[in-house]
């Protein structure tokens, strides 16, 4: 039972974690990415199509990440070059993506809502002999697919990138102040675009995880708002990779829990709201402590 829950929680964490790390980098560079869900949706769709057509999961991942990055790039250009408000553009992208996905399903595949393709190559699952049978540890380490390992590998990588590398420092400088960054000779807009490309790439992978990792089909509601949960995760983690990963893990746990709570008399709809409630609570606490600090100074 416990092993099951741990395993399921980690499975549900991966898509949130992937997108959240992308969104974290994006936000560090100064853009709040509300459009993660749209990139995830198209990553999921293209991954399935490529995995069925071509049969290579690696190519499917590349195309999904590329598609997400492409959408992210478009969104970023509208925000940085046309000075459009990031929130509105993000919401707009989400609306367009949902409509466009359904439109493509109907006009290209003649199906409504769900796309099933034959011979979909799924993401390989890594079973670790010996460890697999150990209680708890086996559930944590064995039987997860390649993207889960990649996602958790990206957590220390992101932390190292932000703190230790020149590019990470420049990204943080850009997020801290556009003018300041420019006076240092940086090109803040290009740096921001690059961070959105990365966010789109990660969200595209998250989508691929859902379609060719978890279920093997594509559905218009496959993301189930996970792009927004990812947003909640990096707000929860206050842009620290490790804290964000903990947030993603917590929300993945809720996700796994609400599936198990179905049919036990406890309303799963209310469990699903927990990530959103927690973000509001955390924002309130942060704002409250910031106000207290400011109040003490004056």
**Residue numbers of the site for other proteins (CB under 8 A)?**
32, 34, 78, 81-89, 91-100, 102-103, 106-108, 182, 189, 225, 228, 231-232, 235, 267, 269-270, 272-273, 276-277, 279-280, 283-284, 286-288, 290-291
Q: Which long-range contacts (CB under 8 A, 24 or more apart) does 101-109 make?
A: 101/41, 101/42, 101/45, 101/220, 102/220, 104/45, 105/220
Question: In whole angstroms, how close is the CB of 27 to other proteins at the nearest point?
Answer: 8
Cβ proximity to other proteins, 171 vs 212, nearer residue: 171
Cβ proximity to other proteins, 56 vs 183, nearer residue: 183
Cβ proximity to other proteins, 54 vs 108, nearer residue: 108
Question: In whole angstroms, how close is the CB of 224 to other proteins at the nearest point?
Answer: 11
Helices (H), the chain: 2-28, 36-53, 57-80, 86-104, 137-141, 146-164, 166-176, 178-183, 188-208, 226-236, 241-261, 268-272, 274-297
- CA atoms lying within 13 Å on the CB side of residue 295: 6
Cβ proximity to other proteins, 10 vs 78, nearer residue: 78
Question: In whole angstroms, how close is the CB of 44 to other proteins at the nearest point?
Answer: 17
Question: In whole angstroms, how close is the CB of 260 to other proteins at the nearest point?
Answer: 17
Mapping DSSP to helix (H, G, I), strand (E, B) and coil, where does residue 144 land?
strand
- The position carrying tokens 């609400």 is 258
Cα torsion angle, 209, 214, 216, 222, sign: negative
Cβ proximity to other proteins, 99 vs 124, nearer residue: 99
Question: In whole angstroms, how close is the CB of 208 to other proteins at the nearest point?
Answer: 23
And the tokens for 169? 């420092």
Question: In whole angstroms, how close is the CB of 130 to other proteins at the nearest point?
Answer: 42
Angle at 25 between CA 93 and CA 254, to 5 degrees: 75
And the tokens for 182? 């420019």
Alpha-carbon distance 33 to 48, whole Å?
24
Question: In whole angstroms, how close is the CB of 132 to other proteins at the nearest point?
Answer: 36
Cβ proximity to other proteins, 87 vs 126, nearer residue: 87
Q: Is 211 in contact with 52 (CB distance < 8 Å)? A: no
Cβ proximity to other proteins, 66 vs 92, nearer residue: 92
Q: Is 28 in contact with 195 (CB distance < 8 Å)? A: yes
């Amino acid at each position: 039972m416990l092993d099951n829950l741990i395993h399921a929680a980690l499975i549900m964490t991966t898509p949130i974690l992937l997108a959240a790390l992308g969104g974290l980098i994006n936000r560090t560079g100064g853009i709040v990415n509300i459009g993660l869900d749209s990139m995830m949706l198209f990553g999921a769709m293209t991954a399935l199509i490529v995995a069925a057509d071509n049969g290579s999961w690696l190519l499917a991942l590349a195309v999904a990440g590329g598609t997400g990055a492409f959408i992210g790039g478009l969104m970023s250009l509208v925000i940085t070059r046309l000075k459009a408000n990031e929130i509105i553009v993000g919401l707009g992208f989400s609306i367009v993506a949902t409509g466009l996905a359904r439109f493509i399903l109907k006009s290209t595949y003649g199906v409504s809502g769900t796309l099933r393709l034959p011979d979909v190559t799924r993401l390989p699952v890594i079973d670790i002999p010996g460890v697999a049978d150990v209680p708890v540890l086996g559930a944590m380490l064995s039987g997860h697919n390649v993207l889960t390992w990649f996602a958790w590998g990206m957590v220390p990588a992101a932390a190292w990138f932000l703190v230790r590398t020149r590019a990470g420092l420049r990204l943080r400088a850009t997020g801290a102040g556009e003018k300041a960054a420019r006076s240092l000779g940086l090109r803040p807009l290009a740096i921001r675009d690059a961070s959105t490309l990365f966010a789109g790439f990660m969200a595209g992978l998250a989508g691929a995880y859902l379609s060719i990792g978890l279920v093997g089909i594509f559905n218009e509601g496959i993301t189930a708002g996970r792009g927004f949960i990812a947003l909640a995760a990096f707000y929860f983690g206050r842009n620290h990779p490790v804290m964000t990963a903990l947030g993603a893990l917590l929300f993945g746990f809720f996700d796994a829990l609400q599936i198990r709570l179905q049919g036990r008399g406890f309303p799963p709809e209310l469990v699903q709201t927990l990530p959103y409630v927690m973000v509001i609570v955390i924002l309130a606490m942060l704002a409250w402590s910031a106000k207290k600090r400011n109040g003490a100074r004056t």
